[in-house]
Amino acid sequence: VGCSDHIAILRAYEAWEALRGERLRAAFCAEHFLSMKSLQTLSQTRRELLDHLWEIGFVTPGASARMADARAHACAVNTEGVVSAVEDGVVASLSAASHSANASDVELLRAILVGAMWPKVAKIESPPERGGKGKGKGGGKGGGKGKGRCSGGSDGSRRPEDIKIQVKDDTGVCSAMLHPSCVASQPSSKELKPGFLIYGELVKTSCLFIRDLTVVTPVALMLFGGRLSIDERASLVVIDDGWVRFRVSPEVATLIVRLRRGLEETLARKIQNPQLEFTQESGAALIDGVVKLLASESEKSSSSATTAVAPSPTAIQMVAYASQLGTKMASTAVAGSKFADCPICGQSVAFSLINDHIDRGCPSS
């Protein structure tokens, strides 16, 4: 599940839902220490959401949970209507995959979680040396009173309390530790690399714990997080107040802003008209480009020692994605340049004014 509590929960739910019969489901819950009642509540909530989406036109007509129940009942099916109707071929599958070509895309799901959880984002810092000591809660350098020991396990392995995480709330930046229930805290989990994660809640007991987390890439944060701005002097893409920021070239910064704007406009059109079917000219190419970009970033992050630096796609790769949207990016702009060619109208604009130029509308937009 790639250091994601959210995806772990999803996989557990899918495995439970695939079982037919309450006895098998109860045995599954007992084996994996899951709450049968909680999973049933999730199932009911999911069915209600599906009905609401069907009513406003976001899913295929005839694919509502209520209609599946009715058809299953007409066929004298006694178990849960939706699952039985699907398994017996009464209706087409009501799984998320039947309503979206990208429903099973894990990296897209991580990115969507950024939008859902923002601004609950945390930074994963480089772990301390094994056997060393540090001040603050859990060995962090700041944010806590007293001293915490940051030693590795007896076998030299890293323990959850060795991982340094910073979170920001209304009171400022402070250190936190992984909650023992997190997937990333388990011995079998891959080590967390320096980078970013989104989380569900902070729990304060003897110290501050972070739980319900998912590791995310910089591109996911820039495309689905808070408001973007460009710091021309430092060559940074800044999100909201600047606690989350990335050093990038002018080409990448400009294209990221353009991709973000195009994505927001595409989503707005779909929300205003749920029956809208995207074509290559009206948004499908943009969505496909974003999906490919997220996959590329994840692959590079998995082979890198850190995900905390600037997004890894080169300007050439970004241009390739942008070309799918019908935009053009002049090849004359170079890293460190004070000017960049707008990817929409081609006009040479001072780097510091790119935000206003795009937001106010280019002559060709």
Closest CA to 34 of 8, 7, 64: 8
Question: What was the pLDDT predicted at 141?
Answer: 41
The pLDDT, as a whole number, for residue 169 is 83
pLDDT value, residue 63 = 56
pLDDT at site 52: 87
List the domain boundaries for the chain: 5-99, 117-216, 228-360
Termini Cα distance of the chain: 41
pTM: 0.71
CA–CA gap between residue 5 and residue 13 (Å, rounded):
12
pLDDT at 126: 66
Confidence at residue 363, expressed as pLDDT on a 0 to 100 scale: 55
Give the pLDDT score at 351. 52
- What confidence score (pLDDT) does residue 354 get? 54
Determine the pLDDT at residue 334: 37
Burial 284-317 (b: 16+ CB within 10 A, else e): ebbbbbbbebbebbbeebeeeeebbebbbbebeb
Please identify every stretch of the chain with a pLDDT value under 50, giving residue numbers as ranges.
71-72, 75-98, 129-156, 308-309, 312-316, 319-320, 323, 325-337, 364-365
Per-residue pLDDT at 77: 44
**DSSP class per residue in 138-179:** GG-SSS-SSEEEE---TTSPPPGGGS-EEEEETTEEEEEEE-
Q: CA 244 to CA 224: how far, in whole Å? A: 13
The predicted structure's pLDDT at residue 130: 47
Helices (H) and strands (E) in the chain — how many of each? 11, 12
Please state the length of the chain: 365
